[in-house]
Structure 1
Amino acid sequence: MRLTLFHRSLIALGLILLLAPLAIVGAGRSMEAMYNSPVMWIPPESEERRQFFQFVNDFRTHDVILVSWQGCTVDDPRLDRFAAALSRADGGHADVHSEALFQRVLSGRSSLAALQTPPLELSRRQAIERLRGSLIGPSDMSCAMAVLTADGAVRRDASIARIRSVLQIDLELSADEYHIGGTPVIGKAIDDASVDSMLWLSLPSTAVIVLLCCLFLRSWRMILLVLGVGFFGEQLAISLVHFTGHTMNAVFVVMSPLIFVLSASTGIHLCNYYRDEVDARGVAGAAERMLTIGWKPCLLSATTTAAGLLSLLVSDISAVRQFALISAGCVLLTTLLMLLTLPGVLQRWPQTRRDRSGWMGTSLAALASVVVRRRSLIAVAGLSIMALTALGLARLRTTVEVFDLLTADHPVIQDHRWLESEVVPLIPVETVVRFDAASPMTLFDRLRLIREIHVSAANQPPARGATSALTFLPSLPTSNTLRASMRRSVISKRFHQDRVRLAELGYLHETPDAQLWRVTTRVPAFEQVDASAYLSDLVAAHQAVLDRGVVDRQDVAVTVTGVMPVIESAQQMLLKDLIGSFFTAMLVIGAVILVALGSLRLGLVAMIPNVFPICVLFGLMGWLDQSLDIGVMMTASVALGIAVDDTVHFLMYCRRETAGGTAPTDAVAKTIQHCGSAITQTTIVCGLGLLVFALSDFEPTRRFAWMMFLLLTAALVADLMLLPALLCSRRGKT
């Protein structure tokens, strides 16, 4: 027996109710596992990531947390109290038990004391200068540096909580008096901002969408179905992050509201098709006619949106690829569910006619008249604006700096600004010098080379000093006198006595195959630093040291690594991904439209209003020298996919009119009046529903929300003005 529309809707609703608890539980587990680390976004096979993790494994140097407070000078005894209290709270650190969160704690005070005691016996001034830029600031302000174990880096929330507890209980400092910073602190703040965006802003976003749907749909059955399917879709999308074995991160934050508003958009279009049929031919059979007319444009729209999302698969960033797959699948699924549920419910409980008079109907009629009369002017103006702004695309630049992921007034950013201005720069850049085990170089040849590398790194702007094993060893003699020979003997003895301690400090690593030395420089995070130029200059400076002929370069290798090179690699990937995904989306979506419409000319005309928002908004960003982050990067392909939805509905309605013998200009005018309502409603619902997330403290979510709102608004103008103007011309006739 053939199933009726109502029976199909019951089956679909039953499936939703069956899977909903599983989706909600999975979404909750995804949120609990939130973890952000841009280092993990780039491909595992990338050279920058491989070198970074090789460095971490060799020197047992995981993340570091910097701690300081008002009045924390190098002579502050509270630095010693903090180190001792943290050691007690941690059970003695990693050298006592394997579950410790901290490897060790360094401070400017303890390091200064070590440099002033035998055998170095440096003067206070000499010792301070050695530590300047690493543990001591320009005004002798200092800090403690808690080095995390591998377990402490993974359990960064517990590590940060333990440090705060020691500061507040043992040192009796209030939260306003101390400052903590470092990659783990930023990562936790990003996690919290991401979760807050989804938990606290999803409710207002949903409320906005509910109010708008009530205003536009005015039927509680329509509203419940549209919002119910949307809610199920967003929960399913987030739960799939957990069920597919991935970790929730910043990229997935925008996925939930995106799926919700796309589902609502499909529902609004279907409801408008239904009401058009009720107005035109009555209630009887309206649900069946709605499905007959609406299934093709809705599925085609979902396909083009999914194609826009899947174009992100060209990205080298794994989190973006996962976002693309899950989002595309959920868009297609929610569209199918909407097509299965809404017609059956409307068949069982038909809706009455609606009055088409009102401000929107009057406005659309006036707009149609203006567009038809001024079509040439509108077409030329639109294409000119698109061409001029598109010139700015060549000026686009990207950023994935972790400090750009939070708003400037966020407390964590304020803490980091204080630490950098009062104590030390925040971004470590690591240079690793590797000597082969078979190298004939003597200890002093190696130390001289390390000294030159140390000096070249420290003097490379904008670095402020450097730290290496030489910081904790006597100064190297520069002459060949008897006294210098005796001093070399002392240094040699000192080195062999301290090599274990140097390894524990993380500045020396020895294996049967090689000896590795580490030189650390720190670069400001809040100054305009051209990371690419700085890294290139640093590598060139190190290469110049090797080229001076002091060593056999086959026995020595110098590598620059750390978070900065990894982030720079991610930025290059981001720009490449933006270009690659956008053009892939254009090709795929263009091909789908060409096949669906069966006309090359019409397909090319249809792509113009969809490229218009991207060219205008991203071109203006280029002209205004605004950087693209990972949230903004994804809007290009996503917005292209969404914008095509309304274009498809517009074109297919217009084709039905012209197929019935209506003149092109009259067909365009009627299409504006009939489709303009649904297009405007979906733009308002999607745009304002997403704009709520502009209140987030998490910058990618905030920028994604603003860009999507502006892109959808520009797409509305293009679909209701530029596209009709082009279709009215002879070349764009349908």
Structure 2
Amino acid sequence: MLGDKIGILTVNLGTIVFVIALSHLVYMTFNWQTLAERAHRIAKESPSLAADARRMTFPPSFWSMICASLGFASLLIVQAKPLRELGFGGVLGTVVAFVCAYLMYPAFLRWAVPRKSKFVEAEPKHAFWSRRFALLSLGVILLTIGLGFGLTKVNTDPSLLDYFKPNQPLRDGLEFVDRTGGCNPLTLVVSASNGNRLNTDDAYKKMWTLHGALENQKQIGTVISLPTLLAEGDRTPFSFLISYEKMMEIMEQPKYARVAKSFVTEDRREAAFMVRMIEAHRTKYRVDVVDDLRAVCRKYGFKADLVGGIYYLQGRLAKLVAESLVTGLFWLNLLFVVIAWIVARSVRVAVAMIVSLTLVPLSMLGGIGWFHVPVDIISAPATNVCIGIAIDSMIHLVFGVRRAQRDGKKGWDAWVTGREEQWRGIVYSDVIIAAGFAIFVLSDFPPTQRFGLVVLAGCIIDILANLFVLPLLGGARLKKPA
């Protein structure tokens, strides 16, 4: 209706919005179950509990929706258009998911009867959640710090081969083409540094020298250029009687498929070098490789006026993804600082929320770097998604702590009560979300697989950060009582 097209990222937006809506439903369901246990209404019809569960869940869900919307909105200010499209669709979908969850689901809860299953009876008791888990939390923090050193190894400019599964016909074909001359096209349009025309003997020799220099670059496979056409023309009998200008005019004729028009302009001041770039074993970013090629052109008396082709497009897109990743995470974390203060109403709790949230992107991106997982434009938003999930869990937990404080609990006891009340929502919500994104692992498209795997790992970090690190930092006694 809004006229936006389905892009390479927005195609997965339906799944993302589905799991966002599911999060609201999970928390409302478990709060409904908790209220039934407190009121001793298990296995009894309790229509009023649905309204109570909705009132109990609405404030944290509202702030979670705000955070998720801001998270997607942070993508609207980045330069990569596919990420902006995801940002717009995400904001719209987050609001729709919230509205649908609270307008439709309570009616179903009114019809349901709360029951206690054997699985629920086997859940951890109060004594378990009373523990501080200091060693576990310390281990999570140290592990995150260790993973954080992998940030310098993050590859946001993956090889073209990484977009396709190994041992498949398409990948095998690309690898063969790459080995035999390069599989990624790049075009350099050059002109003489002194502004001279390129139809002279001297220009021909200089272009041949540049042609050879380009072929000697390890990132380049095959080069086709104006000098190769002219050299082919030189092989014909009596070609020495024809000037290079006349040879170009002949090659512009229809019977020669006007081949010269693809390599030199009519004013003879610019010529094209068509290059096939090698993707395997590339160690530099594509934009840096192109800068090196520009330097080679300058070294041999030419300047690269234009650079184009799939290779350079991918390089620019990779640079935009890297910049968008940094920009999006910066604004998302900055906005969360404000919301954490509003929700927590305590400096210590707000700081604990910020530190715990920082564990998520640090460990995810660091782990991606250590395990050499390519970060492409499709898998890049996975970190933002996991931060949104973590924020959702944090807000629900902190609201649970605040309810315990209103009931007279203080300090660590309030955190124990809040954690005992909300742990099921946090765990089951993350598990369901992880299961939803795990569907992407079944895809035949590696970037989509990586997106699902990264979110899956992020959900595990979310659970550890929210249920163990956050309570320890936000509520544990700093000193033991004398």
TM-score, length basis structure 2: 0.88
1:339 maps to 102
Which of 326, 333, 336 aligns to 1:579? It is: 326
Matched, 1:519 2:303: no
Distance 1:383 1:435, change over 3 A: closer
Contact 2:198 2:269 in 1 (8 A): no
Partner of 2:187: 430
Name which of 177, 199, 206 aligns with 1:449.
206
Residue of structure 2 aligned with 1:367, choices 112, 120, 128: 128
SS in 2 for 1:398: coil
- For 1:220, the equivalent position in structure 2 comes to none
Residue equivalent to 1:670: 417
Q: Match for residue 149 of structure 2?
A: 391
What residue number does 2:88 align with?
325
Confirm or deny that 1:649 pairs with 2:407: no
Could you list the runs of 5+ residues in structure 2 that have no partner in the other structure?
A: none
Contact 1:574–1:633 (8 Å) recurs in 2: yes
CA distance in 2, matches of 1:444, 1:585: 59
Q: Which amino acid aligns with 1:674?
A: E
Alpha carbons of structure 1 residues 710 and 442: separation in structure 2 relative to 1, 3 Å: closer
Q: Is the contact between residue 542 and residue 558 of structure 1 (CA under 8 Å) also seen in structure 2?
A: no
AA of the residue aligned to 1:362: E
Give 1:558 deviation, angstroms: 4.2
Q: Deviations over 1:707-731 (max 9, x none)?
A: 1111011101211111122233246
Give 2:472's aligned amino acid. Answer: A
- Structural mapping, 1:217-236, within 5 Å: none
Distance (Å, rounded) in 1 between the aligned partners of 2:268 and 2:230 = 21
Which residue is 1:151 aligned to?
Answer: none
1:415 to 2:183 alignment? no
Is 1:723 aligned to 2:474, yes or no? no
Q: Which residue of 2 aligns with 1:639?
A: 386
Q: Is the 8 A contact 2:201 2:244 kept in 1?
A: no
Q: Which has the higher contact order (CA 8 A, sep 6+)?
A: 2
Q: Which amino acid aligns with 2:252?
A: R
TM-superposed CA distance for 1:468, in Å, is 1.6
Alignment partners' CA distance in 2, 1:252 and 1:729: 42
Checking the alignment, whether the CA contact within 8 Å between 2:219 and 2:282 is kept in structure 1 is no
CA drift of 1:489 comes to 3.6
Correspondence 1:620 to 2:358: no
2-structure distance, mates of 1:615, 1:415: 37
Determine if contact 1:433/1:559 at 8 Å carries over to the other structure: yes
Please tell me whether the aligned partners of residues 433 and 450 of structure 1 are also in contact (alpha carbons under 8 angstroms): no
**Aligned AA (1:639):** C
Q: Is the 8 A contact 2:349 2:475 kept in 1?
A: no
SS at match of 2:300: helix
Report the AA paired with residue 430 of structure 1.
T
Counterpart contact for 1:254–1:701, Cα < 8 Å: no
**Counterpart code for 2:381:** M
Using a 3 Å threshold, how does the CA distance of structure 1 residues 731 and 266 change in structure 2: closer, same or farther?
Answer: farther
Q: CA deviation at 1:313?
A: 2.2
Compute the displacement of 1:702 (Å).
Answer: 0.4
Q: Using the alignment, how far apart are the partners of 2:442 and 2:270 within structure 1?
A: 48
Query: Once the 2 structures are TM-superposed, how far is the Cα of residue 506 of structure 1 from its aligned partner?
Result: 5.1
User: Contact 1:392/1:620 (CA < 8 Å) preserved in 2?
Assistant: yes
Q: Deviations over 1:621-646 (max 9, x none)?
A: 22334332223321111211111111
> Is the CA contact (8 Å cut-off) linking 1:253 and 1:701 kept in structure 2?
no
Larger of the two Rg values belongs to structure: 1
1:353 equivalenced with 2:114 (yes/no): yes
User: Residues 475, 253 of structure 1: CA spacing in aligned structure 2 closer, same or farther, 3 A cutoff?
Assistant: closer
The separation in 1 between residues aligned to 2:141 and 2:174, in whole angstroms, is: 46
Give me the TM-score of the superposition, normalised by structure 1.
Answer: 0.59
Deviating beyond 6 angstroms after TM superposition, the runs of 4 or more aligned structure 1 residues are none
Name the counterpart of 2:60.
Answer: 297
Return the letter of the residue paired with 2:265.
E
Q: How does 1:548-587 map to 2 (within 5 A)?
A: 558-587=305-334
Gapped regions of structure 1 (runs ≥ 5): 1-242, 478-484, 547-552
Identity value in percent: 18
Q: 1:367, 1:505 → 2: CA distance?
A: 79
Q: Deviations over 1:87-131 (max 9, x none)?
A: xxxxxxxxxxxxxxxxxxxxxxxxxxxxxxxxxxxxxxxxxxxxx
1:310 aligned onto 2:63: no
What secondary structure, in the 3-state scheme, does the structure 2 residue paired with 1:526 have?
A: coil
Partner of 1:535: 290
Seen in structure 2, the aligned counterparts of structure 1 residues 308 and 364 have a Cα distance that, compared at 3 Å, is farther
3-state SS of 1:464 partner: strand
Identify the range of structure 1 (457-466 vs 650-659) with the bigger mean alpha-carbon deviation: 457-466
Alignment root-mean-square deviation, CA: 2.9
Taking a change above 3 Å as real, the CA distance of residues 465 and 352 of structure 1, as seen in their structure-2 partners, is closer
Q: How does 1:45-56 map to 2 (within 5 A)?
A: none
| Secondary structure of 1:510's aligned partner | coil
5 Å matches for 1:72-83? Answer: none
Contact in 2 for aligned 1:502/1:508 (Cα 8 Å) = no
- 2:421 is the counterpart of 1:704: no
Pairs aligned (count):
468
Tell me the alpha carbon deviations over residues 183-210 of structure 1, each in whole angstroms, 9 at most, x when there is no partner.
Answer: xxxxxxxxxxxxxxxxxxxxxxxxxxxx
Q: 1: distance between equivalents of 2:271 and 2:415?
A: 72
Distance 1:587 1:561 in 2: 37
Say whether residues 1:499 and 2:246 are aligned partners. Answer: no
Identify the residue that residue 35 of structure 1 maps to in structure 2: none
- CA distance in structure 1 between the aligned counterparts of 2:121 and 2:176, rounded to whole angstroms: 53
Contact 1:379 1:722 in 2 (8 A): yes
- Contact 2:32–2:50 (8 Å) recurs in 1: yes
Equivalent position SS for 2:116 = coil
Q: Kindly tell me: are residues 596 and 728 of structure 1, through their superposed partners in 2, closer, same or farther at Cα, counting changes over 3 Å?
A: closer
Q: In the alignment, is residue 590 of structure 1 matched against residue 345 of structure 2? A: no
Query: Compared with structure 1, are the counterparts of its residues 492 and 317 closer, same or farther at alpha carbon in structure 2 (3 Å cutoff)?
Result: closer
Equivalent residue letter for 1:306: S
Q: Report the Cα distance in structure 2 between the residues aligned to 1:364 and 1:310, rounded to whole angstroms.
A: 40
